[in-house]
């Protein structure tokens, strides 16, 4: 399988994995640092909400930046900006000037070019797949598997570093990962077949620039339905991983190593799920995969309220990972197949930004729930939200099928 993948595509997949590895460490270090200092899940939610704001507003500039300046330039610039921003967090902490508002500002700067940088790498990968005429399912499945493996390893490394050396030191690994990716892309540049420096003339106003993309997604109801359910799942899943899991492991077990193992169990599940999609995904419809996976996700969220214990939690998180791991390659494959190269960058930005649109609200809502008397019912509330999203998705799919049947007649 690996021999079929050209060197430049393998390099892109590997560099993406390095970046994900550093971010996985940070996702452990930042919430744990805040809980150590304040003990407040709501404060964790507030700071992490600030971190995600650039991802939401990136819909207005990400694709435009990539098209205007080229995927390669934006990718390298993004990694260098992230390197400097993340590096300043442990530096300022050592200088004893890292207040919560300053931490939030640094996290905002660390993600301000994160979405354009990720989009730039997606564009380069998509171009190379087309140029080399490779299977989309194979490459996207491997890419998602690599991401999940790094998500798997990252929490273990991060929790071990925190337990051994202290919370703040884990952030140095994140900064180094961004620098390594930037240097790796510069070295890899000469091996690309596709024109990764291609620039496109774009309209001066972002809303004009995205008007065509919005029109397209309105006409493609299958893509729009996937966008809706993906947004609902992200509303629940991101706070679940970033706020709920650190809180539970801090309150119930008081162990950062337990948090690392929890995230690793989730990562093992997502890794196996995305790998299975890469091999068998083409044999099943996207609709069936989405309905089955997210329905099981609801059931395992409910099980968190029915069963307790550290080892049971690890098993439940593995199962939840299995339910979630297919989602990224399914979405990317749908976009790659149905969207033209001209609109690809804008559609990827539209998907990534819209999915995170309600996540800050999710952070604050579930952070507030965890500080209230309903803390133990948090998984049930999350399950109810996802179930509602599934109901909306099912209705939209039935309407599309009915319209297609009427059109055929």
Distance of alpha carbon 262 from alpha carbon 245, whole angstroms: 8
Nearest to 210 by CA among 319, 94, 58: 58
pLDDT for position 365: 92
Instruction: Enter the tokens of residue 239.
Output: 């706070």
Same domain, 221 and 342: yes
Distance of alpha carbon 365 from alpha carbon 328, whole angstroms: 25
Distance of alpha carbon 55 from alpha carbon 85, whole angstroms: 16
Give the DSSP per-residue string, 319-349: HHHHHHTTHHHHHHHHHHHHS-HHHHHHHHH
Distance of alpha carbon 337 from alpha carbon 346, whole angstroms: 15
Q: Residue for token digits 């069963």?
A: 307
Per-residue tens of pLDDT for the chain, all 409 residues: 444 677 777 888 888 888 877 777 788 888 988 888 888 899 999 888 888 887 777 666 777 788 778 888 888 898 999 899 889 988 998 888 888 888 888 888 888 888 788 888 888 887 777 766 555 667 777 777 787 677 778 788 888 888 887 878 778 877 888 899 999 888 887 767 655 566 555 555 455 556 666 777 777 777 788 888 888 999 999 999 999 999 999 989 988 899 989 988 998 888 888 888 877 777 777 778 888 889 999 999 999 999 889 999 999 999 999 988 887 777 777 777 777 666 766 677 677 777 777 888 899 999 999 998 898 999 999 999 999 999 998 888 887 766 665 555 4
Same domain, 213 and 329: yes
At 22, which helix (H) or strand (E)?
helix 7-37
The tally of domains found in the chain comes to 2
Same domain, 330 and 376: yes
pLDDT for position 342: 67
Distance of alpha carbon 365 from alpha carbon 363, whole angstroms: 6
Which of the listed residues 199, 229, 252 is the one where a domain comes to its end? 199
Same domain, 151 and 183: yes
Q: Give the count of alpha carbons within 13 A of 195, CB side only.
A: 8
Domain hosting residue 18, numbered range: 1-199
Contacts of 96 (CB under 8 A, 6+ apart): none
pLDDT for position 133: 59
Which of the listed residues 199, 234, 269 is the one where a domain comes to its end? 199
- Number of residues in the chain: 409
> How far are the Cα atoms of 124, 141, 335 from residue 330, in angstroms, in the given order?
19, 9, 9
- 133 conformational bin, left if phi > 0, alpha if psi -120 to 50, beta if neither: left
Distance of alpha carbon 336 from alpha carbon 330, whole angstroms: 10
Same domain, 236 and 376: yes
Instruction: At 47, give phi and psi (nearest 5°).
Output: -65, -45
Pair 39, 251: CB distance under 8 Å: no
Same domain, 113 and 240: no
Contacts of 344 (CB under 8 A, 6+ apart): 123, 126, 335, 336
Instruction: Enter the tokens of residue 271.
Output: 């890794």
Same domain, 141 and 261: no
Nearest to 249 by CA among 239, 264, 260: 260
Distance of alpha carbon 345 from alpha carbon 147, whole angstroms: 20
Same domain, 153 and 290: no
Measure the CA dihedral 197/83/16/224, to 10°: -80
- 39 conformational bin, left if phi > 0, alpha if psi -120 to 50, beta if neither: left
Same domain, 154 and 244: no
Distance of alpha carbon 287 from alpha carbon 184, whole angstroms: 37
Compute the radius of gyration of the chain from its Cα atoms: 21
pTM: 0.75
Q: What is the CATH number of the domain that holds 275?
A: 1.20.1250.20
Same domain, 146 and 169: yes
Pair 400, 244: CB distance under 8 Å: no
Same domain, 195 and 211: no
Distance of alpha carbon 168 from alpha carbon 26, whole angstroms: 9
> How far are the Cα atoms of 301, 344, 405 from residue 226, in angstroms, in the given order?
21, 16, 20
SS3 48: helix
Same domain, 108 and 229: no
Contacts of 256 (CB under 8 A, 6+ apart): 28, 32, 159, 162, 163, 167, 249
Distance of alpha carbon 170 from alpha carbon 147, whole angstroms: 19
Distance of alpha carbon 259 from alpha carbon 166, whole angstroms: 15
Which of the listed residues 170, 199, 228 is the one where a domain comes to its end? 199
């Amino acid at each position: 399988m690996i021999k079929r993948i050209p060197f430049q595509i393998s390099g892109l997949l590997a560099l993406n994995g390095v970046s994900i590895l550093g971010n996985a460490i940070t996702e452990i270090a930042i919430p744990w640092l805040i809980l150590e200092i304040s003990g407040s899940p709501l404060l964790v939610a507030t700071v992490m909400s600030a971190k995600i704001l650039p991802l939401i507003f990136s819909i207005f500039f990400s694709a435009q930046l990539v098209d205007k300046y080229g995927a390669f330039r934006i990718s390298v610039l993004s990694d260098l900006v992230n390197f400097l921003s993340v590096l300043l967090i442990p530096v300022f902490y050592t200088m004893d000037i890292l207040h919560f508002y300053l931490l939030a500002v640094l996290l905002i700067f660390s993600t301000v070019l994160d979405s354009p940088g990720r989009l730039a790498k997606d564009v380069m990968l998509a171009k190379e797949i087309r140029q080399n005429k490779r299977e989309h399912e194979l490459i996207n499945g491997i890419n998602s598997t690599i991401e999940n493996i790094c998500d798997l390893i990252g929490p273990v490394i991060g929790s071990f570093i925190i337990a051994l050396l202290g919370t703040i030191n884990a952030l140095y690994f994140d900064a180094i990962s961004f620098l390594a990716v930037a240097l790796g892309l510069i070295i890899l540049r000469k091996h690309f077949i596709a024109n990764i420096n291609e620039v496109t003339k774009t309209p001066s106003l972002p809303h004009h620039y995205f008007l065509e993309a919005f029109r397209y997604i309105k006409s493609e109801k299958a893509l729009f339905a996937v966008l809706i359910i993906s947004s609902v799942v992200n509303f629940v899943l991101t706070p679940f991983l970033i706020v709920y899991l650190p809180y539970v492991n801090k309150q119930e077990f008081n162990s950062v190593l337990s948090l690392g193992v929890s995230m690793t169990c989730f990562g093992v599940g997502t890794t196996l799920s995305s790998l299975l999609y890469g091999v068998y995904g083409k044999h099943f419809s996207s609709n069936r995969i989405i309905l089955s996976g997210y329905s099981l996700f609801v059931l395992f969220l409910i099980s968190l309220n029915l069963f307790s214990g550290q080892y049971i939690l690890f098993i439940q998180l593995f199962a939840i990972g299995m339910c979630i791991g297919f989602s990224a390659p399914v979405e990317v494959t749908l976009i790659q197949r149905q969207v033209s190269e001209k609109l690809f960058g804008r559609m990827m930005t539209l998907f990534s930004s819209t999915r995170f649109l309600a996540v800050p609200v999710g952070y604050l809502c579930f952070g507030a729930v965890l500080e209230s008397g309903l803390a133990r019912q948090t998984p049930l509330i999350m399950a109810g939200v996802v179930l509602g999203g599934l109901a909306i998705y099912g209705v939209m799919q039935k309407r599309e099928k009915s319209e297609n049947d009427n059109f055929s007649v």
